[in-house]
Amino acid sequence: MKYDTLISVHDAASRIGDPDWLFFDCRYTLGDGGKGRRDYAAGHLPGAHFASLDDDLASPHVPGVTGRHPLPAKEVWVETLSRWGIHPATQIVAYDAGVGQSAAGRLWWMLKWAGHDRVAVLDGGLPCWVAAGQSLATETPSHRQAGRFVPRWRDDMQVSAAEVAARLAAGSATVLDARAVERFRGDVEPIDPVAGHIPGAISAPFTANITPSGLMAPVSTLVERFDALAPGRRAEDVILYCGSGVSAIQNALAFAHTGRGIPRLYPGSWSEWVTDPSRPVARS
């Protein structure tokens, strides 16, 4: 069976040690880039490798030019996937410890972008794994033999800032902002230099997809939510963004989990949008 959106703790636990499965710990803490690796060393899923948001899942931030987590160059990402020994039959499971599994979702999205569909996010992440009584390990597993990953790029999964503006102007897309409502309104902005949102975007905090137990909401609930946010829109006519292109992917994962495809992502997101003072900003 192929898992391509979510996987339960029960199903994931039954595959620990399977040579065709790879687990990745993607834990990340904003403002402390080294904490995820320290947390990994203190305890992780048995056999899991560590995937760094800063080092593996993004290229260096160029202040005033890029968003805070720009995508790595294609050739760099292929080198990483080849080094990890991922081949077409490899099932990937990504997890982290944050609400909504945003960092794990970043790995999920980037593998889809490169054409690898056998990737799922652990529903509920590490907290639900521990709550279910599953064990943790501190040993770092040996690396698989490196291979040659052959990508099948899906560049239509992403859009540029210019495309966001053009599609909003044409009324041909619904743009959803995954950040907290107060950041969308521009009441506060704790990270980026400008507060507010892209004019015409709709507030859609990713946290609304998550139940109090930390699991993804039922499919029926997600369908109702996205039908209300983007009525009648196909996945390709929905554009997602957040602060830096990470937490917005939780909305992409939730939408895909309904079986209706993956919406477009604006990877640069708000932190890139505001690097150009000519781009409009809305506050309300």
Of 97, 120, 161, 242, which residue is the catalytic one?
242
Q: What is the CA radius of gyration of the chain?
A: 18
242 is known as an active-site residue: yes
What does the alpha-carbon distance between residue 6 and residue 9 come to, in Å, rounded to a whole number? 10
- Tokens for 250, please give them: 């939780």
Residues 6+ apart with CB under 8 A from 246: 53, 69, 102, 103, 105, 106
Nearest to 27 by CA among 113, 106, 86: 106
CA 188 to chain centre: 23
CA 186 to chain centre: 23
Torsion of CA 74, 79, 81, 83, to 10 degrees: -170
Output helix, strand, coil percentages for the chain, rounded to the nearest 5: 35, 15, 55
- Catalytic residue positions? 242
